[in-house]
């Protein structure tokens, strides 16, 4: 990710990119969580309701209200989620090595295989829009003292700028070329071998072309009118308010179309082909019409009913640190550090949906805030992706580093689609890297599902994550972790 323009940092629409808020997670307080109502202050116990009313008497907090963080979710929906998770758990699944004995010791059995998410936890999250950063910190401090019913209250900063040198080629889908030299001392690149697998699978893979693998994408705003995107393959969930109009910051539209190019460009009009071209792509915006606070978690949950086990969800967002959510010197941090996002990720993972997220372009070390050893209690289940140089020598685009990062991909010099039916060759940061890995994940699932007739059960999110982070199935950069090699992964899976 390169530096963002001030236009993105200071969006002129105050209901989108400039509002501060407080995220409240109630303890499992039945009066609220059993009904999950908006304006939940009306359901507070008597003494706290009176304290809330006193807060509202102050001009700075006049009109504040507790609104559902997941505004499209109901307790009945949670019951359906629990049913879907139970169905996933009832599927008799041997271990990854039992399914694919040829993997041998090349892949470690993931310690985070069973996340045991509690979907009811989604009903414990509420949000409060406030007028300023100062108000957000003061209100979060007050609510944090309500320990009898509040588990935690954290500050919600405005959305971070989107996670974002020029070589006009798609080296990231090719094989390795360590002898390339351009006008600069460019020392070649490590490719992922995608193009070779296309030829072997007949394009994007049988399952992708028959709609077995869907990719959900969370962005701010988008415009998929590019000539190299198949418009019939893109769908937006109901209730979005991306406001793609003359006032929309161009950088946001450019970011989305560049991401979609990596995933799904057809290659028909321009020499740019998406890694999972032919896949159905479902879009959700972090903005909803009539709601003050944008929410990544809300967009993820809006995509949930449209995705099924074996599908991929790419969350192309990062977060701003705050006193509540800090990561040392990192200027931008992974979006999973938002507690509501982490809960949504764990629920989606238990539903069999693989979540991919960027590590963030904060140029920091995530070991200060995220354990490098996943655990059931603290691991989101998502595949976290760092951005590296094309040659794998080190982080690129300001990518964060740290042991939590599962794998790496190109974070600079990425050729993809651009505005006005064009191409760009300078997309980068952990945005490009996460999109590359999401595309690779979709092709792997496509291959596994299509291996037999009837289709084989897809990999679980933890199994797919284990393959992509395996050093034996990728390359090790000089100062970064595993750079997945799709050829090696598919080759190993074929030897059943």
Q: Is position 466 within any domain?
A: yes
Q: Could you tell me which residues are beta bridge partners of residue 423?
A: 417
Rounded distance between C-alpha atoms, residue 172 and residue 174, angstroms: 6
Which pTM does this prediction carry? 0.87
Q: In the prediction, which pLDDT does 95 show?
A: 79
Q: What sign does the CA torsion over 450, 452, 458, 459 have? A: negative
CATH number of the domain where residue 413 is located: 3.40.50.200
Q: In the prediction, which pLDDT does 113 show?
A: 44
Q: Is position 238 within any domain?
A: yes
Q: In the prediction, which pLDDT does 327 show?
A: 85
Q: In the prediction, which pLDDT does 90 show?
A: 85
* Cα–Cα distance list, 445 to 19, 418, 430 (Å): 39, 28, 22
Q: Would you call 328 exposed, middle or buried from its count of C-beta atoms within 10 A (0-12, 13-18, 19+)?
A: middle
Q: In the prediction, which pLDDT does 376 show?
A: 47
Rounded distance between C-alpha atoms, residue 434 and residue 202, angstroms: 24
Q: In the prediction, which pLDDT does 182 show?
A: 38
Conformational region of residue 135, where left means phi above 0, alpha means psi within -120 to 50, and beta covers everything else: alpha
Q: Is position 13 within any domain?
A: no
Q: Is position 426 within any domain?
A: yes
Q: In the prediction, which pLDDT does 351 show?
A: 95
Q: Is position 377 within any domain?
A: yes
Number of domains in the chain: 1
Q: Is position 205 within any domain?
A: yes
Q: Is position 127 within any domain?
A: no
Q: Is position 393 within any domain?
A: yes
Q: In the prediction, which pLDDT does 186 show?
A: 43
Q: What sign does the CA torsion over 328, 329, 335, 340 have? A: positive
User: Which residues span the domain enclosing 272?
Assistant: 171-494
Q: In the prediction, which pLDDT does 325 show?
A: 78
* pLDDT averaged per 10 residues in sequence order, the chain, 496 residues: 33 52 93 93 93 93 95 94 91 79 76 68 96 94 95 91 56 59 46 69 49 88 82 74 61 89 81 84 88 90 94 95 83 94 95 96 90 65 93 87 92 89 90 95 89 76 93 83 88 77
């Amino acid at each position: 990710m390169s530096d963002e323009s001030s236009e993105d940092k200071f969006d002129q629409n105050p209901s989108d990119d400039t509002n501060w808020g407080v995220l409240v997670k109630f303890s499992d307080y039945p009066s609220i969580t059993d009904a999950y109502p908006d304006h939940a202050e009306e359901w507070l116990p008597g003494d706290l309701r009176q304290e809330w009313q006193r807060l509202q008497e102050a001009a700075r907090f006049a009109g504040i209200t507790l609104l559902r963080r997941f505004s499209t979710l109901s307790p009945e929906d949670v019951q359906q989620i629990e049913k879907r998770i139970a169905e996933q758990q009832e599927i008799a699944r041997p271990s990854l090595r039992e399914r694919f004995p040829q993997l041998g010791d090349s892949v470690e059995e993931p310690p985070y295989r069973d996340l045991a998410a509690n979907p009811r936890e989604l009903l414990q999250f509420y949000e409060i829009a406030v007028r300023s950063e100062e108000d957000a910190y003061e209100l979060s401090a007050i609510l944090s003292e309500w320990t009898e019913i509040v588990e935690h209250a954290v500050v919600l900063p405005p959305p971070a700028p989107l996670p974002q040198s020029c070589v006009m080629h798609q080296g990231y889908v090719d094989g390795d070329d360590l002898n390339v030299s351009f006008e600069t001392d460019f020392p070649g690149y490590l490719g992922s071998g995608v193009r070779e697998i296309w030829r072997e699978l007949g394009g994007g893979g049988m399952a992708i072309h028959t709609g077995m693998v869907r990719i959900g994408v969370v962005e701010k705003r988008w415009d998929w009118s590019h000539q190299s995107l198949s418009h019939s393959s893109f769908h937006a969930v109901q209730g979005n308010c991306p406001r793609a109009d003359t006032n929309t910051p161009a950088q946001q539209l450019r970011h989305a179309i560049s991401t979609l190019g990596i995933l799904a460009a057809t290659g028909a009009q321009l020499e740019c082909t998406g890694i999972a071209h032919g896949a159905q792509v479902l879009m959700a915006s972090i903005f909803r019409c009539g709601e003050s606070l944008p929410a990544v978690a809300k967009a993820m949950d809006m995509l949930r009913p449209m995705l099924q086990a074996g599908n991929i969800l790419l969350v192309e967002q990062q977060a701003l640190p705050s006193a509540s959510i800090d990561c040392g010197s990192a200027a931008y941090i992974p979006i999973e550090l938002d507690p509501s996002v982490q809960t949504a990720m764990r629920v989606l993972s238990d539903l069999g949906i693989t979540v991919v997220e960027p590590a963030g372009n904060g140029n920091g070390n995530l070991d200060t805030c995220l354990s490098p050893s996943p655990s059931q209690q603290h691991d989101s289940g998502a595949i976290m992706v760092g951005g590296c140089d094309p040659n794998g020598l080190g982080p690129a685009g300001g990518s964060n580093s740290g042991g939590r990062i599962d794998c790496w991909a190109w974070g600079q010099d990425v050729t993809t689609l651009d505005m006005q039916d064009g191409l760009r060759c300078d997309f980068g940061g952990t945005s490009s890297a996460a999109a590359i890995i999401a595309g690779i994940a979709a092709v792997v699932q496509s291959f596994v599902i299509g291996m037999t007739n009837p289709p084989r059960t897809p990999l679980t999110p933890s199994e797919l994550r284990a393959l992509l982070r395996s050093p034996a199935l990728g390359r090790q950069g000089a100062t970064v972790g595993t750079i997945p090699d799709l050829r090696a992964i598919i080759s190993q899976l074929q030897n059943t």
